[in-house]
Amino acid sequence: MGYYDNDLPRSIQRGDTTTTYSLDAMDRRQVETTTGPAGTSEIIRHYSDTSDNPTWVSQGGQTQRYVELIGGDLGLTVDSVGDAELTIANPHNDIVTTVAVPADTPATAIDGWNQFDEYGAPATANTADTGAVHYGWLGGTQRAAHDSGLILMGVRLYNPATGLFTATDPVEGGNSNAYTYPADPVNKSDTTGEWGCGWCKRAKSAGKSAGKWLWRNRVAVAGTIAFGVCVFATAGACLAAGVVAAGFSVHSNYRKYRSGSMSRRDFAINTVLDVAGSRLKPLRYGGKYAARHARKVKWWKRPFWRTRRTNKPHRNVYRSFRNDWRGSTWRLGRLGYRAYSSYKGRNFPDF
């Protein structure tokens, strides 16, 4: 066994045959070179995302594509002439058989059968194959097996004959000791070679997803937090939260403006409204003034945007402005100020 200085596997030697792995910029296995008595061959892995699962591989002028299901598990392999093979996995996500689907004829039967014990040791009668990259035990998650029997398990190599990794765990406390596979291999797995804590992996994945969602919706989240702060906290905290929310919104609008999806006029209007949004009281009095003069009725009973259009330019402009922002962040500000007014004992009219 040979390793890089970052402890990633570099080479595997078995008898007269040596396999060497070169890494790409993301430390994923890219070129697999096998040298032995029969000569030298190469398998080149190509990636289309940040995972360590190759999208397609090339070997000796031939290519093979690996197609994933919606959940990310392996579902199909397609060669360079268009012939495909369905990969059938068991509940443990082991590839137990394949179904050949030629390009011009229907599928007829399964191609052999594979069996493994709970730690991944293959049965001697296994015959099903997935092409240049051998997927068997945990093959649904695209953990490839080497000709020596070792399994490329993320950042480490795993030996199913002993149930141990060939190197120490880079994550302290990931398993019961630095080399072992999870003690319950039926219900737990360590497909990355970094840790075997099932709930830890799910929590990590959920945390990443939550973080991405929060960043994508940072404007709405910041506005919601500011609303809660203004209702229950002090005026100073409300102002600070409003400034932060306005900053997120201005930044988002600026990116839209720079990308061309928002005009300069809209960007300027949105920025002014974001800055003024933390001081809704003057805007509410502006609405009250326009409502008083819209018709000769009691102003608190007749919201001005429900009145008929008049030839008063300032009222028409204000009404147009209000309709443009209806259903957007302005509604949240209006709701927040109403709650804040009730909380502080101020009964301003609803416009």
Task: Encode pLDDT of 90-130 as tens digits.
Answer: 999 999 999 999 888 888 888 889 999 999 999 988 888 88
Would you say 26 and 173 are in contact if contact means Cβ atoms under 8 Å apart? Answer: no
What is the pLDDT, as a whole number, of residue 99? 93
Write the DSSP symbol of residue 48: S
| Residue 228 backbone phi and psi in degrees, to 5 | -65, -40
Question: Which residues are CB-neighbours of 60 under 8 A, at least 6 positions away?
Answer: 41, 42
- pLDDT interval class at 263 (50, 70, 90): confident
Would you say 33 and 40 are in contact if contact means Cβ atoms under 8 Å apart? Answer: yes
| Chain segment 63-92, per-residue pLDDT in tens | 999 999 888 899 999 998 888 999 999 999
The sign one gets for the Cα dihedral 42, 73, 6, 181 is: negative
User: How far apart, in whole angstroms, are the C-alpha atoms of residue 290 and residue 18?
Assistant: 84
What is the domain partition of the chain in residue ranges?
A: 2-197, 217-278, 279-351
Query: What is the average pLDDT across 274-298?
Result: 46
pTM comes to 0.56
User: How far apart, in whole angstroms, are the C-alpha atoms of residue 225 and residue 242?
Assistant: 9
- Rounded percentage of the chain residues whose pLDDT exceeds 90: 34
What is the pLDDT, as a whole number, of residue 269? 81
User: How far apart, in whole angstroms, are the C-alpha atoms of residue 74 and residue 144?
Assistant: 12
User: How far apart, in whole angstroms, are the C-alpha atoms of residue 140 and residue 138?
Assistant: 5
Would you say 87 and 101 are in contact if contact means Cβ atoms under 8 Å apart? Answer: no
Q: What angle do CA 100, 106, 107 make, to 5 degrees?
A: 30
| Chain segment 268-280, per-residue pLDDT in tens | 887 777 766 544 4
User: How far apart, in whole angstroms, are the C-alpha atoms of residue 313 and residue 212?
Assistant: 45
> What is the DSSP code string of 122-151?
BPTT-----SSSEE-TTGGGT-EEPTTS-E
- pLDDT interval class at 16 (50, 70, 90): very high
| Chain segment 180-230, per-residue pLDDT in tens | 998 889 988 888 888 655 555 566 667 777 888 888 887 778 778 877 777
Question: How many Å from the N-terminal Cα to the C-terminal Cα in the chain?
Answer: 76
The identity of residue 87, as a single letter, is T
User: CA dist 278 to 57, 328, 330, Å?
Assistant: 56, 15, 11
Residue 289 has pLDDT above 70, yes or no: no
Question: Which residues are CB-neighbours of 9 under 8 A, at least 6 positions away?
Answer: 1, 2, 3, 21, 152, 156, 157, 166, 167
User: How far apart, in whole angstroms, are the C-alpha atoms of residue 167 and residue 288?
Assistant: 73
Q: Which of 137-141, 177-181, 207-211, 296-300 has the lowest mean pLDDT?
A: 296-300
Alpha helices in the chain (DSSP H): 198-216, 218-232, 235-259, 264-276, 280-294, 313-325, 329-344
Most confident of 154-168, 231-245, 281-295: 154-168
| Chain segment 142-185, per-residue pLDDT in tens | 999 998 999 999 999 999 999 999 998 887 777 778 899 988 89
- Rounded percentage of the chain residues whose pLDDT exceeds 70: 74
Residue 322 has pLDDT above 70, yes or no: no
Closest-CA residue to 170 (of 350, 302, 299, 8):
8
Residue 293 has pLDDT above 90, yes or no: no
Residue 286 has pLDDT above 70, yes or no: no
